[in-house]
Amino acid sequence: MKTIGLLGGMSWESTVGYYRAINEGVKAQLSGLHSAKIAMVSVDFEPIEKLQHAGDWDGTARILVDAAKNVQSAGADFLLICTNTMHKVAPQIEEALEIPLLHIADATAEELLAKGIRKVGLLGTGFTMEQDFYKGRLSEKFGLEVVVPNQADRDIVHRVIYEELCLGKTEADSKAEYLRIIDTLAEQGAEAVILGCTEIGMLVQQQDTQVPLVDTTMIHAQKAVEHAVK
């Protein structure tokens, strides 16, 4: 079994989900008392969040490159960045490592294409919904058509992530707003909606809506299991 490298803490709330899903996946694959071999570095999210909102992505890259190198030194065979937004600096991290990076957008796109989905809604931080590092990869590399909410709804999605979900809070009013936004994306032709922030699955699950949801945390974790045990 290969050792899975995790770069977590952004936020730690969602990293817990990665750890659980990966270990459950390995147990399902191998049965018995098997669990995943994991090398993980969990960063302090506060300074990273401040750099994000200041637009200092080079600063975030320096922090995450150092952390990723520590994961590699701990014996990881490949790396997962346990957050969608910080894949903005994935190229800098990949360049600094000798081990491969398992990109969350690639894993998500492969899942969508396997299900025959071509037009998809995207929820995430404002950075993920508005900048090209994520939705551009989905469209240019995989030919997917990506729909995002309008500005007012993007502001709601972003605020709930940072002010509630990253702090472990799940509010009924916020869930209702997310479900409304998901319905709106479906009305615009989205065949499914990507939960493109690793915390969103804490708030909204498939049983809450008839619109197909694509949970990036679960997909990324399952892809890691496949790479580890093949």
Q: Would you please indicate which residues are annotated as catalytic (active-site) residues? A: 83, 197
Q: Which of 69, 57, 186 lies closest to 128 in space, CA to CA?
A: 57
In order of 10, 73, 162, 217, the CA distances from 79 in angstroms are 15, 12, 25, 14
- End-to-end alpha carbon distance in the chain: 8
Q: Which of 200, 224, 205, 230 lies closest to 24 in space, CA to CA?
A: 224
| Structural contact between residues 75 and 39, judged by C-beta atoms closer than 8 angstroms | yes
What is the pairing mode between strands 119-123 and 192-195? Answer: parallel
Query: 39 - beta bridge partners?
Result: 5
Whole-angstrom distance, CA of residue 58 vs CA of residue 64: 10
Helix (H) or strand (E) holding 119: strand 119-123
Helix (H) or strand (E) holding 42: strand 38-42
In order of 54, 59, 60, 220, 223, the CA distances from 47 in angstroms are 11, 10, 9, 25, 29
Residue linked to tokens 């492969």: 110
